[in-house]
């Protein structure tokens, strides 16, 4: 699958101004990147690569679309707080990017995600709910990340993530991850079991001792 840069524009947000880049794959699926302090358009050819390498690696967050969390403020997950905290951190840093990937519900789509929600309402965890629907526990792919980062001249990052799979995927595809920056925000009693499943069954790097919710420390 190949990815093509389409266009870019300025995007003012409550966290500050970002450069918004749009990419499209062979199937017409769109992904976007929000960047700060990285080359845009013709700036790429004018950038001094030596100077860029002397700066700290940019902060980067790979964030898969979550309509319920990002737009509706759902308490069932931590996606919305993660996105907003990453935007704030990158603005404060002055150099970085968010790769916003259009793969809702860990890649199973919005309808199947809500079907999985219904099973979670019956007491099943997020992983088992997907499997009960005959779907993968996690269907996300990250092959678009390296081309998106290459567009802004980035081949080394400090990656904001708790998911070691994202570190491994970038490394495999030629992007050096010089540091993993943990991102544990938005913990509440409605999503504690969801986070525990990510930690205990999906290998996410979440420290039990961090949490105050009693049922996360069982």
Residues in Cβ contact with 52 at an 8 Å cutoff, skipping those fewer than 6 apart: 153
- Coil, strand or helix at 126: helix
155 an active-site residue?
no
Task: Find the helix or strand (DSSP H, E) in which 18 lies.
Answer: strand 16-25
C-beta atoms surrounding 144 within 10 Å: 22
Q: 166 among the known binding-site residues?
A: yes
Nearest to 203 by CA among 164, 160, 167: 164
Contact 133/153 with Cβ under 8 angstroms? no
Is 66 annotated in a binding site? The answer is yes
- Annotated binding residue 102: no
Are 43 and 81 contacting, i.e. CB atoms less than 8 angstroms apart?
Answer: no
The catalytically annotated residue of 27, 140, 200, 207 is 140
Instruction: With residue 59 as reference, give the H or E element that holds it.
Output: strand 59-64
User: Which residue in the list 78, 138, 199, 200 is annotated as catalytic?
Assistant: 138
- Clarify whether 140 is annotated catalytic: yes
Is 17 annotated among the ligand-binding residues?
A: no
Q: Are 136 and 130 in contact (CB under 8 A)?
A: yes
Residues serving a catalytic function are 138, 140
Residues making up the binding site? 61-66, 77, 79, 82, 104-106, 126, 161, 166
| Binding-site annotation: residue ranges for Zn(2+) | 66, 77, 79
Residues in the annotated binding site for GTP:
61-65, 82, 104-106, 126, 161, 166
């Amino acid at each position: 699958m190949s990815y093509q840069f389409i266009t870019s524009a300025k995007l003012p947000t409550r966290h500050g101004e970002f450069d918004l880049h749009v990419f499209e794959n062979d199937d017409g699926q769109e992904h976007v990147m929000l960047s700060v302090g990285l080359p845009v358009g013709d700036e790429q050819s004018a950038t001094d690569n030596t100077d860029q390498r002397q700066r700290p690696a940019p902060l980067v967050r790979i964030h898969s679309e979550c309509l319920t969390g990002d737009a509706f403020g759902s308490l069932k997950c931590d996606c919305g707080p993660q996105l907003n905290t990453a935007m704030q951190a990158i603005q404060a840093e002055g150099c970085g990017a968010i790769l916003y990937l259009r793969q809702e519900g860990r890649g199973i789509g919005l309808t199947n995600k809500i079907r999985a929600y219904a099973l979670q309402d019956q007491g099943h965890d997020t992983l088992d709910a997907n499997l009960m629907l005959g779907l993968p526990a996690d269907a996300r792919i990250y092959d678009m990340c390296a081309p998106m980062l290459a567009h802004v001249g980035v081949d080394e990052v400090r990656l904001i993530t708790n998911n070691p799979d994202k570190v491994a995927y970038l490394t495999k595809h030629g992007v050096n991850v010089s540091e993993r920056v943990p991102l544990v925000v938005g913990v509440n009693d409605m999503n504690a079991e969801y986070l525990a499943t990510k930690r205990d069954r999906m290998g996410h790097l979440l420290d039990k001792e961090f949490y105050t919710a009693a049922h996360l420390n069982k």
